[in-house]
Amino acid sequence: MQSETMVPAETPTGRPLTIRTLWALLVASVAGPALILALFAVTSYRDEVAASRAALQTQVDVLYEHTLRVFDLHRIVVERVRAIVELRRGNERAIHAELQHLAATLAPLSSLWVLRADGGVLATSVVHPVPSGVNLSDRDYFRALRDDPARDLFISEVGRGRVDRALFFTVAVPMRDAEGRFDGLIAVSSDPGYFSEAFPRLLRDSRFDLAGLLRDDGAILARHPVAYPAAEPPFPRLPPDSGLMTAIGRQPDRGAYVHETWSDDVTRSFAYRRIESLPLYVVVARSTADVNAVWGAKLAGFLPAWGIATLALVAATLFALRNARREQRTLDALRDEMQRRDRAEEALRRTQRFEAMGQLTGGVAHDFNNVLQGIGGCLAALDPHIPQGPARGMFEAARRSVERGAGLTRSLLAFARRQVLAPEPTDIGDMLDGMRPLLERTLGGLIRVDIAVPPDLPAALVDRAGMESAILNLAINARDAMPAGGLLTLRAREVRVGDGGDAVHPPDLAPGRYVAVMVEDTGIGMDDATLARAFEPFFTTKEVGRGSGLGLPMVHGMAAQLGGGVHIASAVGRGTTVTVCLPCATTAPAPATVAPPVPAPDEAKKADEAGGGERVVLLVDDDAVIRVAMTAVLEMAGFRVREAGEGTSALALLRDHPDIGALVTDYAMPGMTGAVLAREARRLRPGLPVLVITGYAEAPDGIDCDGLLQKPFRPPDLTARLGALLDRQAASGTVPKP
């Protein structure tokens, strides 16, 4: 009969009962020492935190005493300056000399200023005479004292001097005439760097890694270490909901709190104290990580004894568990390997899907580029023959349609090749107005389009073609959400992130100025579950065949690549608003350019005769429509064109016609590519100018040519590039020989 111990009983989880029992025994053997360790850890941590708080209060008192003495010195200096002005009234040079001496002998001071009632400079310690035109009436301290007769002191934010360009903050007091009216002010400016250097000397303890001086409205005057977030004032101030401002609201005079520091997101313990009779606070902080490190060191000294006791209890259990754990590790390794294989297979399938989609998109866009090139070339050839009037209007509409189609193919190629966008300053109002006819045709008669853009909207830094494609994507989504019709509203306005103003923007958007383009519909809206997955690639709520789920991810990716973001607000039955935030441009949009007209045949002939002879070009393209259009454009520009539909015929023409002065070839051709043709042509005719045209987003490196021209291009671009190549060759005096 078998023994019962030979086959261990199974638990509901599938593990042998012996392993479960041994783990329970291990837990019991550790529980006692662990409880002792926990009690010691809690007690020692409480003591370390209390000691840290007491040290913070001591250090903030040290900074308080020093800062109070400095500002007492400011008061004394103000009275001294007032006496100098009264004594030397009318002698500005003498006032300047005494102010200069006073500022040089007192380390906390950087400069002294006496201002007239109109903001002009009566005297300063910085320079004499004061440069003409210097007026400080726009300074915050001047406005505050001039506009508030009851105010007898004002401390400014950190600014930059207009004369010496140095950083400063100012303690200003008013001067009044005999009737008590504002008659100018005395300003004592201090270098924030003085406090930033004095704070660490006063603290004398590297554990206190942050100290600062700031106004009661959150404006930072000095900080150690110095870490101003911008190169030029005004500098940001602490927001009202920051840890310090919230603590001051609860305890105005002094207090302590724990919060993340705004500049580096490090959690610190803070202590602060208000400077007597001044709207100023000194702050000292210590990283909670440092407190934890000290506590950890104490705990580490206790751990050896605890470890020896615990080890003695668990050694036997661990020995018994060794074999069982080895089995479990083997099973876990097998499970992990299966999961890794599943993830690798899924990643491979996803990569193959994206690769197939990219190849399909790139191929379609390339072929469509050829179609657009043929249409655009024919339109350019017809341009001189279209009279003014309705026919000219339809002709221009056709040319704009070709340009818009070119923008769409660039977007397709950018998606297929992940091409870098080309942002430029763009007038959003003009762009949206230009899209109105396309949107109205796309949305149909049941949906009304309303566009509202303020005239003073700044230009946005955006890839125009990509943005037009994004707006069109959002409009199509809105159309599908309004099957019974409705209203599509396109609005735009400037938003400022980081100043506590506008909140309708992506939460992770960096501080700065943005142009927010809002696409709002009155459709069925989205529930929370759908809204949470809106930006997932390939996620769509549309039936099969009506959506790929790539629209919103492409919009989000474009905005993020430009330094902006996308925010969606939606509710079931209340419609959806998609806000695309784009960074403001620092320059104005470039004026719209009109393509230069192709020279008439007579003019081209005259220009050719003036240039010294006929210029012959070999044009190679496997698309007959493109050859016809490009031949017409080149002949109108004064070139004589020989054509070939593939590489072998082109090489034969080069051998038989030594008058050919340049080669223009398509890149993607059956049999012999443009790269191979260019290499063979240069072998036959060294020095022959070669221009390669392509419908792809980018061509391979190493093509032996003088330039690449991407389809669809404007005909004047072709003639200009070709003419430049021939002119450069003529200027160099080299002529390609067969």
- Residue 4 predicted with pLDDT over 90: no
Q: Which residues have C-beta within 8 Å of that of residue 220, sequence separation ≥ 6?
A: 158, 212, 213, 214, 235, 237, 238
| pLDDT tens per residue, range 559-588 | 777 788 888 888 888 889 999 989 998 887
Distance (Å, rounded) from C-alpha 314 to C-alpha 311? 5
CA distance 477 to 630: 39
Please state the rounded mean pLDDT for residues 443-457: 88
Q: Which two three-digit tokens encode residue 244?
A: 């310090």
Contacts of residue 158, Cβ cutoff 8 Å, sequence gap at least 6? 167, 168, 169, 192, 219, 220, 221, 228, 233, 234, 235
HEC profile for 637-663? Answer: CCEEEEEECCHHHHHHHHHHCCCEEEE
Reading the block at residue 63, the tokens are 């900074």
Mean pLDDT of 249-260: 90
In percent, the amount of the chain with pLDDT more than 70 equals 77
What would the mean pLDDT of 527-541 be, rounded to a whole number? 70
What is the C-alpha end-to-end distance of the chain, expressed in Å?
Answer: 103
577 neighbors 570 (Cβ within 8 angstroms): yes
- Residue type present at position 94: A
pLDDT beyond 50 at 639:
yes
pLDDT of residue 574: 87
Which residues are bridge partners to 508 per DSSP?
Answer: none
- Give me the mean pLDDT over the 678-688 stretch: 88
Report the distance separating Cα 198 and Cα 217, nearest Å: 23
Nearest-angstrom CA–CA distance, 105 and 98? 11
Q: What are 655's two structure tokens?
A: 């051998």
Supply the mean pLDDT for the chain. 79
Helix pair angle (288-382, 390-417), 10° resolution: 140
| Model confidence, pTM | 0.41
Q: CA 343, 508, 420: angle at the middle one, nearest 5?
A: 65
The DSSP H or E segment spanning 369 is: helix 288-382
pLDDT in tens, 231-249: 566 677 888 888 888 999 9
Round to whole Å and give the CA distance between 114 and 187: 6
Place of tokens 């083997």: 330
Q: What is the DSSP letter of 385?
A: G
Q: Which CATH architecture has domain 601-732?
A: 3-Layer(aba) Sandwich (3.40)
Strand ranges inside 398-504, DSSP E: 424-426, 447-452, 460-462, 486-497
Given this model, what pLDDT does residue 421 score? Answer: 63
> Which among 579, 561, 422, 433 is positioned nearest to 495, based on CA atoms?
579
Q: What share of the chain is helix, strand, coil (3-state, %, to 5)?
A: 50, 20, 30
Domain with CATH 3.30.450.20 in the chain: 13-313
- Output the CA torsion sign for 212, 215, 219, 222: negative
For residue 599, is pLDDT > 50? no
**Cβ-proximal residues to 41 (8 Å cutoff; 6+ apart), any chain:** 299
- 40: closest CA among 303, 314, 291, 290? 303
Residue 354 has pLDDT above 50, yes or no: no
| Residues present in the chain in total | 738
Q: What does each C-alpha distance from 671 to 150, 279, 365, 648, 649 come to in angstroms?
A: 90, 82, 21, 9, 11
In CATH terms, the fold of domain 428-583 is Heat Shock Protein 90 (3.30.565)
More confident call, 529 vs 71: 71
pLDDT in tens, 277-336: 899 999 999 888 888 888 888 888 777 877 777 777 777 777 766 776 777 777 788 888
The first and second tokens of residue 193, run together, are 């760097």
- pLDDT tens-digit profile of 418-445? 444 668 899 988 989 988 888 888 888 7
Q: How far apart are CA 424 and CA 441, in angstroms?
A: 28
The whole-angstrom distance between residue 316's C-alpha and the CA centroid of its chain comes to 59
Q: For the chain, give every residue range classified as CATH 3.30.565.10.
A: 428-583
What amino acid occupies position 334?
Answer: L
Amino acid at 658: P
Secondary structure (H, E, C), 554-605: HHHHHHHHCCCEEEEEEECCCEEEEEEEEEECCCCCCCCCCCCCCCCHHHHH
The 3-state DSSP class for residue 181 equals coil
* Contact criterion met (CB below 8 Å) for 310 and 36: no
Residue intervals of the chain classified under CATH 3.40.50.2300 are 601-732
**Tell me: the pLDDT tens digits for 486-510?**
999 999 999 888 765 555 567 677 8
Return the structure tokens found at 117: 């009632």
Does domain 13-313 bear CATH number 1.10.10.10? no
User: Which burial class, exposed, middle or buried, applies to 356 when counting CB atoms under 10 A from its CB (0-12, 13-18, 19+)?
Assistant: exposed
pLDDT tens by residue, 508-518: 778 888 999 99
Q: Which two tokens stand for residue 625?
A: 């429509």
pLDDT of residue 469: 79
Separation of alpha carbons 628 and 691, rounded Å: 18
Instruction: Tell which residue, 177, 144, 171, has the closest CA to residue 158.
Output: 171
The candidate with the shortest Cα–Cα distance to 225, out of 255, 258, 192, 254, is: 192
